[in-house]
Structure 1
Amino acid sequence: MADQSIIRITKEIGELQKSSDLSLAVAFRDRDVRSVKALIIGPHETPYEFGFFEFAVKFNKDYPRKSPSVTGTTTNSGRCRFNPNIYASGKVCLSILGTWRGERGEEWSAAQGLESILLSIQSLMSANPYENEPGFEDANESHDKKNQKEYIAKIRHETLRISVIQRLEEYLGLSGGCLPTASSAEQEEYGVEADDDIEIDDASVPWEPFKDLCKRRFLWYYDSYLESIAKAKEEVKDGQPFARMPFEGASNSMDGKFNYTELEKRIKRIKAALDAEVEKWASDWASPKMKDATVAVNLTRQFEQIKESFKRSDVPHSVELVNGNPFVWNLTYFGRPMTNLDGGMFRIKLNFSPRFPEEQPRIKFLTPVFHHRIAADGTPCYFPNSSRREDVKQHIEAIIEALEEEQPPYDPRTLVHPEAHKLYWGTPEQRKIYNRQLRRSVQRSMEDF
């Protein structure tokens, strides 16, 4: 039974890791497949939007006959209840987990699995979580509507503060709001003086399998975070205390005060830190030890192969190393004929970490392009093959595919450029405006060359 249980768990984890679902991620250490970490990214158009919520899943030896135990770990050290069904202690109340009484047919069965559990938890992260509390499902009195609005407001604030900002600050070793070393342009943009005491704390951290994923997703959703903050600033005042809900208790609540001005500063500091991190990757190559490292040799070999393959192919794209550095590539992309990109020439920089492929490359379009899959700062939203993370060519192919895709399915998890996204998925007239702006950026790309 134990062996069958492990086979089942391993199979479910493998299927999730290969899944195209952008809002779920799972990981485990080889020595303990029964202890799994799971990440759920908050759904679009909810107060949890693009937040990073982590859960610990423990499978017992009777799985799948019995459900695993699930504990929420994104709780601000047990001080924040993010949902009527997700307690500050980490308890997750779900009938399929046996932690809440459900109707007949809602209890656990062996036909269910890890994915169904995570999707059930994700469904709790709704547009109006106030209604998740038993007895408040149809609360329509005036005071209930006021409570709903106030509950949503504080969840949105704490999603940004705890699940996004605190998490990224811990990943980057930012202490006391300090910024990493930044360029003069970044210092001006983020309000940093040249003589500020700026440092990154390199203290060791526990096993964090989602660190690289969250960093890359933060860059995807950066403009959405800022847009959310700007909107919230119009609705609440800094220093305004959170309202206590009727179902919240002293040790199981979400208490605090709004301070979006501070959150905005911190989120910009994170962006500066991520930009500085990429610059450090490039400068690390100067070390004699790094020049002979396996990753440098591997990247050099892949560069030579890709450059040669472009020469032999019909497409005019090309790659070059920046100053001979195998950790920094420049890709020149030529727009495909008979598309909105026709005639465009775009420079794209690929930055590689000394820990590649554990840390995936950071990509940035140096040539501005108005595109729903490319953020305002040039960060593309693309999907590399998870089983070939070490293959640079498939990264390049995935970037080009995202750029050229003519009829993509609607997916709000790819919302990386708010303005372009709204136009692209809007009315026919809005789509025409989008196409005109894209064509203008294509024409300007030729001028910039």
Structure 2
Amino acid sequence: MANQSILRITRELSEIQRGSDLSLAVACRDIDVRHVRALIIGPPDTPYEFGFFEFTVKFTREYPTKAPAVTAITTNGGRTRFNPNIYAGGRVCLSILGTWRGERGEEWSSAQGLESILISIQSLMSQNPYENEPGFEDAKSDYDKKNQEAYVAKIRHESLRISVIERLEDYLGIDRGKLPGVTVYNAEEDYQANAADAPFEPFKDLCKRRFLWYYESYMTSIDNEAAKHKDGDRFEKMPFEGPGNIMEGTFQYPSLKERMQAIHDKLIEESLSWADEGRIAVEKEMSIASNLQRQFEQIVENYKKNDAVTLDLELVDKNPFVWQMVLFGRPMTNLDGGVFRIMIYVSPKFPDVLPRVKFETPIFHQRISASGVLCYDAARKDDMRSHIEAIIEAVEEESPAYDPRTLVNPEAAKLFWGTPDEKKMYNRKLRRSVQDSSEWS
């Protein structure tokens, strides 16, 4: 029975890791698949948008007959309640977990699994999380509506501050101890307080990459909210919040904007530093250096034989950790005539740390931010050829399925998925950037 349980958990972990859902991630130490870490990325168009919310999932030997225990650990050290159903102490109230009374048929069954649990938690992160509070259906007065708006406002602020900014500041070693009104808190240290093991941070690189994807969305949100909330105004207390289970604080959007910018600059600096680290790896004849050199040579040979794609690929200063790709737009497409210079920075910790890709040539595209960051997802993370293929596919795909988690240029995305006239405007702006690209090559 125990072996069957472990096989089931292992299979479910593998399915989520191989899946295409960009909003869920799971990991565990090799020695113990019963103790899982899960990351849920806040859904678009909600106050949780693109926040990084982490949970522990502990399976017993009775799984899947018995539901696992789930605890939220993105709680600002037990001080912040992010949802009526996600408490400051980490408790997650869901009928399928047996932590909340549900209707008949909503209780746990062995047909459910880890993915269904995470999706259920994600569904709590709605446009109006106040609706998760019992009795919400009767809350129709102007007072209740005002509360709902106030609740959404403070969740949006704290999602940015706690789940994004403070997480990335911890990852990057940015000292926020001197910032006024800031309490230094490290979620990983809090979680590991009673553990003898070294910190387990399986989502560090994922969060760094996604931060760069969503940076412009974060900044747009900050600008929009800063116009609504005066700096220093206190959050309003909700009727269902009580001592030790509350979200307290003040609006600090000017400070959040400065901190967001500092994180962005630090991440860019980090990726540029890989060039020097890579040269040292080459001098020391480390296996990662020779591996990347070999992959580069094989990819170049492969594309010499590929008539469908025209590109030039070279190593900058013969450094296998800095690749430059020049992609030529395919004839008879919106990219026809384009010449795009793309930098690919590879970490000496590849593939545990994935490449950073930046378009040096400006292009108006829903998958490429205004600063040139490309949103793409390689099928095989350890294979640079898979990364090159994914980069090309992300740029060339003309009729992608709608997925707001891949849209990193808000202006371009709004036009691309807008009215027919807006789509025409998108195509005109894209074509104009393609025509201008030869001046940048």
- Encode CA deviations 1:362-384: one digit per residue, 9 max, x unaligned: 00011110000111111111121
Provide the C-alpha distance between the structure 1 equivalents of 2:138 and 2:258, rounded to a whole number of angstroms.
39
- Encode CA deviations 1:222-267: one digit per residue, 9 max, x unaligned: 0000000000011101100000000000100000000000000000
| Mapped contact 1:95–1:102 kept (Cα < 8 A) | yes
SS in structure 2 opposite 1:226? helix
2:357 corresponds to which letter in structure 1?
I
- Encode CA deviations 1:114-151: one digit per residue, 9 max, x unaligned: 00000000000000011111112341101000000000
SS in structure 2 opposite 1:54? strand
Structure 1 residues 348 and 144: CA distance shift in structure 2, 3 A: same
Provide the C-alpha distance between the structure 2 equivalents of 1:250 and 1:273, rounded to a whole number of angstroms.
37
- Encode CA deviations 1:161-200: one digit per residue, 9 max, x unaligned: 000000001111111379xxxxxxxxxxxxxxxxxxxxxx
Q: Are residues 1:398 and 2:390 paired? A: yes
Provide the C-alpha distance between the structure 1 equivalents of 2:119 and 2:382, rounded to a whole number of angstroms.
29
Match of 1:11 in 2: 11
Q: Are residues 1:323 and 2:317 paired? A: yes
Match of 2:163 in 1: 163
Match of 1:447 in 2: 439
1:31 corresponds to which letter in structure 2?
I
Per the TM alignment, residue 448 of structure 1 is displaced from its structure 2 partner at its CA by 2.2
Which of 276, 287, 302 pairs up with 2:280?
287
Provide the C-alpha distance between the structure 2 equivalents of 1:134 and 1:316, rounded to a whole number of angstroms.
59
1:358 corresponds to which letter in structure 2?
D
Match of 2:410 in 1: 418
Provide the C-alpha distance between the structure 2 equivalents of 1:255 and 1:137, rounded to a whole number of angstroms.
25
Match of 1:208 in 2: 201
Match of 2:370 in 1: 376
Q: Are residues 1:353 and 2:347 paired? A: yes
Provide the C-alpha distance between the structure 2 equivalents of 1:110 and 1:22, rounded to a whole number of angstroms.
25
Work out the number of aligned pairs and report it.
Answer: 424
| Mapped contact 1:284–1:290 kept (Cα < 8 A) | no
- Encode CA deviations 1:12-48: one digit per residue, 9 max, x unaligned: 1111111100100000111000000000000011000
| Mapped contact 1:130–1:148 kept (Cα < 8 A) | yes
Provide the C-alpha distance between the structure 1 equivalents of 2:215 and 2:198, rounded to a whole number of angstroms.
24
Match of 1:88 in 2: 88
Q: Are residues 1:269 and 2:269 paired? A: no
Match of 1:126 in 2: 126
Match of 1:101 in 2: 101
Provide the C-alpha distance between the structure 2 equivalents of 1:316 and 1:402, rounded to a whole number of angstroms.
16
Provide the C-alpha distance between the structure 2 equivalents of 1:417 and 1:113, rounded to a whole number of angstroms.
34
Match of 2:184 in 1: none
Per the TM alignment, residue 287 of structure 1 is displaced from its structure 2 partner at its CA by 2.3
Q: Are residues 1:53 and 2:73 paired? A: no
Alignment of 1:190-339 (within 5 A): 206-287=199-280, 291-314=284-307, 315-339=309-333
Provide the C-alpha distance between the structure 1 equivalents of 2:2 and 2:301, rounded to a whole number of angstroms.
51
SS in structure 1 opposite 2:313? strand
| Mapped contact 1:290–1:296 kept (Cα < 8 A) | no
| Mapped contact 2:278–2:347 kept (Cα < 8 A) | no
1:64 corresponds to which letter in structure 2?
P
Per the TM alignment, residue 205 of structure 1 is displaced from its structure 2 partner at its CA by 7.3
Q: Which runs of 5+ in 2 are unaligned?
A: 179-188, 190-196
| Mapped contact 2:5–2:63 kept (Cα < 8 A) | yes
1:273 corresponds to which letter in structure 2?
K
Q: Which runs of 5+ in 1 are unaligned?
A: 179-202
Provide the C-alpha distance between the structure 1 equivalents of 2:399 and 2:298, rounded to a whole number of angstroms.
31
Provide the C-alpha distance between the structure 2 equivalents of 1:303 and 1:25, rounded to a whole number of angstroms.
29
| Mapped contact 2:282–2:289 kept (Cα < 8 A) | no
Moved over 3 A (4+): 288-291
Provide the C-alpha distance between the structure 1 equivalents of 2:352 and 2:333, rounded to a whole number of angstroms.
35
Provide the C-alpha distance between the structure 2 equivalents of 1:291 and 1:127, rounded to a whole number of angstroms.
53
- Encode CA deviations 1:284-322: one digit per residue, 9 max, x unaligned: 133267541111111111111111222222132110110
| Mapped contact 1:45–1:127 kept (Cα < 8 A) | yes
| Mapped contact 1:131–1:139 kept (Cα < 8 A) | no
| Mapped contact 2:81–2:247 kept (Cα < 8 A) | yes
Match of 1:187 in 2: none
SS in structure 2 opposite 1:357? coil
Per the TM alignment, residue 339 of structure 1 is displaced from its structure 2 partner at its CA by 0.5
Provide the C-alpha distance between the structure 2 equivalents of 1:134 and 1:312, rounded to a whole number of angstroms.
63
Q: Are residues 1:114 and 2:114 paired? A: yes
SS in structure 2 opposite 1:285? helix
Query: When the two structures are superposed, what TM-score results if normalisation uses the length of structure 1?
Result: 0.92
Provide the C-alpha distance between the structure 2 equivalents of 1:287 and 1:27, rounded to a whole number of angstroms.
31
Provide the C-alpha distance between the structure 2 equivalents of 1:402 and 1:419, rounded to a whole number of angstroms.
18
Per the TM alignment, residue 415 of structure 1 is displaced from its structure 2 partner at its CA by 2.1
